[in-house]
Structure formats: structure tokens, C-alpha cells
Structure 1
């Protein structure tokens, strides 16, 4: 009898999952916030501890926003072919937030956590592309629709290239141009980890003797190709994508995945040139990594607010 009641309760999980998550979050706040405040008060002179407190606050704001949206999709799972990709994309918000906070607290080990996040970035791009293709192929054959459309030409700075023929060639080139990033990023991440373990990675060092500038160049080129193909794909299917309010979705993907990468590159250049050291009066190279992590937390929180304010994945 007891086993049957438990089974019935689990079958009705849609009725209690949201109140359960709210209660769990309240308990987390009640326990974790006082601990963070006490830890911060005991280390008033330590700037990194103060930054950890602020970063922890951002994480505690990010988690309920993203988890609530994920739960809403799971409870109202009416379009699995679309929502499974939406849920996977939404998971990048807590992953980014926790990654930034962990990197803030343990800057020396952040490269290993960053590597996992970077692999998930590639997975997010894959799911976003699959989401767009499934949406566009829901009622019509995308390739056939594109064949009847006017030719879409390349945009600056590749406007001199021969345009891709509308239809199969256009979809094929856009898809592979976007998805190549899902292959390149994990490969460069693994290479970076191997180089770090052998002491030749040289994070924030643009010397030709270390691997860091080469990895940045490869990732930069791969991201440019993916972003360009994504914009071109949107340009060709703007009318069909209009009902799903694509602007917020494109902004989120670009801001969280692409723009945060370029911000990281800019920060590394500023660290290498000594600009951050002069502004914040930092002489210890280890503390420069802490300052870089602080700025990573700020961009992650900005992207969370951007996603929440536009509600891009709520139907």
C-alpha cells in the first residue's frame, strides 16, 4: 500500500515539482547566505572574498530564473521536438553562473572548469541550430521553401564571395558553417588542457612560445564563421522565424556564447598589456586571474538579465 502511494506520488510529479523547487531554493538561501556573509565579515581586508560574496549573490539570482524556466518547459512538455533543445540551451545559464563563481574562488583551477563549460557551449550551438531547423521544417520543407525565395547574398566582409544557391546548398553550407564550431571548440579545449598539464599553455600570455595565442586564433576564426552563418541563415528565414520572436533568442546565443568569448579575449589582452594591473593596482599575477573571473561573473549575470527580461524561450 505504501509502495503504491509512493508510485502514485511520483506519477503526479507535475503537481508538486514547482512547490518543491521553491522550498528547496528558500532553504538554500536561508543556509548559504548567512554563511557567505559571515565568511565575508571575517575577511574584510581580503578583496577576493568580497568578490566571492557578490558573485555568490549573482549565482543565487541566476539559478531560480533558469531552473524555473526549465521546469515550466518540463511540466508543459507539449512539443518535445522543440522543447528538448530549448531545455538544453537554458541549462547554459546555471552552468555559466556556477563556472564563473568557481573560477572566482579557485582561479588556479578555473581552466579545468572552463573546459567543461566550453564543451557545453559547443553543445548549445548544436541544439540551437537543431531547434531552428525543427521549427522551420515543422510545416514545410525548408529546402523547397528557400528554392522559391530570392537569392540571399553574402554580407560584409564576405560580400565578394559567390552566393550560395538557395535551397539544399544554402541550408547545407549554413548548417555546416555553424556546426563546425561544435567540433572545433571541444578539440581546442582538449588541446588546451593537455598544454596546461604540460606547462606550455600560458593563459593570458600572447608570446609565440606558448599555446594560448594559437588556441585563441583558432577559436576566434571558428566563432566568426559560426556567427556569420547564423546571421545569414536568419536573414534567409526572417519571415518564417518571426512568429517565434527570434531576436531575443539570437541575442542570447550571441551574447552568452560569442560575445562572452570576445570579452574574455579582450580581458586577456588587457591583462597581458598590464592595463588591469595598473587600474586595480595589482602586482600578483594570481590576482589578475581573480579580477578576470570577477568580470566573467558580471557578463554572465548581464546575459541572465537579458534572457529573463526578453523571456526568449517562453511560449
Structure 2
């Protein structure tokens, strides 16, 4: 998709904003679909949560996540580790990841619509930080 956006932008530079907005919407949709696909591969939400809890308790030789110092714990990277406690794999982590994907999808779509509106009023200045631009 990214190649197509770049190609269209080269052919017709005036359409670059519109194609990038479409790419952003597609990217959000693809991420949502990938999250659904992963859960389907694990057998549904309940099985995914039980898998995470089981992996968190299991004494496997290699940790599920490289950053974890304890089995079944997700330690955050700097600077997030200064104000977030480590997460235990399970229901809470699953809900956080699910909410993050949905929030990303909604925010990408809303900002794409705002970019279209600002472009229509000729106040969308991509890459410029000015008070007159949106």
C-alpha cells in the first residue's frame, strides 16, 4: 500500500494528501484485522487469555517477552517504567492491548477526517508547525 501511495504522489503531487489519508485509514483497519486474526488463531478471547496466564506461570526455558525479568511479567521500557508497574500476563494485559488497538484505529480515522476537512479549507500544512495551520 505504501508503494502505491508514493507512486500516485509522484504521478500527481496534488493528490498526495488524499492518498496518505487513505493509507492511514487502511493501516488502522489492517491493524484491527490483524489483532482479530491473532485472537482467532489462538482459539478466541478466552483461550488467548488462558494461554497468556499459562505462559505467565510456566517455567519455560525462554521467556515469552525478552524484556521480562520474571516469568509472566512485562516490564516497561524507560521512561514508562518510572510510573507504570510491571504487568502480569493475563486478562488485564489482554484488555489493555485490545483497547490500544481500538483507540489507535479510532484516532487514525478521526485525524484522517480532520485532515480532509482542513485540506478542503486550505489550512492543512503537512509538516509545518504554524499557528495558521491545522
TM-score by length of 2: 0.76
- Specify whether residues 137 and 154 from structure 1 end up closer, same or farther in structure 2 by C-alpha distance, changes over 3 A only: farther
Corresponding residue number in structure 1 for 2:78: 156
Corresponding residue number in structure 1 for 2:65: none
Shift of 1:168: 1.0
Name which of 103, 115, 118 aligns with 1:195. 118
Does structure 1 residue 143 correspond to structure 2 residue 65?
A: no
Q: Secondary structure at the match of 1:141?
A: helix
Larger radius of gyration: 1
TM-score by length of 1: 0.34
Task: Measure, in 2, the Cα distance between the counterparts of 1:195 and 1:173.
Answer: 32
> Highest relative contact order (Cα 8 Å, sep 6+), 1 or 2?
2
- Specify whether residues 196 and 126 from structure 1 end up closer, same or farther in structure 2 by C-alpha distance, changes over 3 A only: same
Shift of 1:153: 2.3
Please list every run of at least 4 consecutive aligned residues from structure 1 whose deviation after the TM superposition is greater than 6 angstroms: none
Q: Which sections of structure 2, spanning at least 5 residues, go unmatched? A: 57-71
Task: Measure, in 2, the Cα distance between the counterparts of 1:196 and 1:208.
Answer: 15
Shift of 1:177: 1.3
Task: Measure, in 1, the Cα distance between the counterparts of 2:80 and 2:113.
Answer: 31
Corresponding residue number in structure 2 for 1:111: 17
Question: Which has the larger helix fraction?
Answer: 1
Q: Is the 8 A contact 1:125 1:179 kept in 2?
A: no
Q: After TM superposition, list the pairs within 5 Å mapping 1:203-214 onto structure 2.
A: 203-211=126-134
Corresponding residue number in structure 1 for 2:101: 178
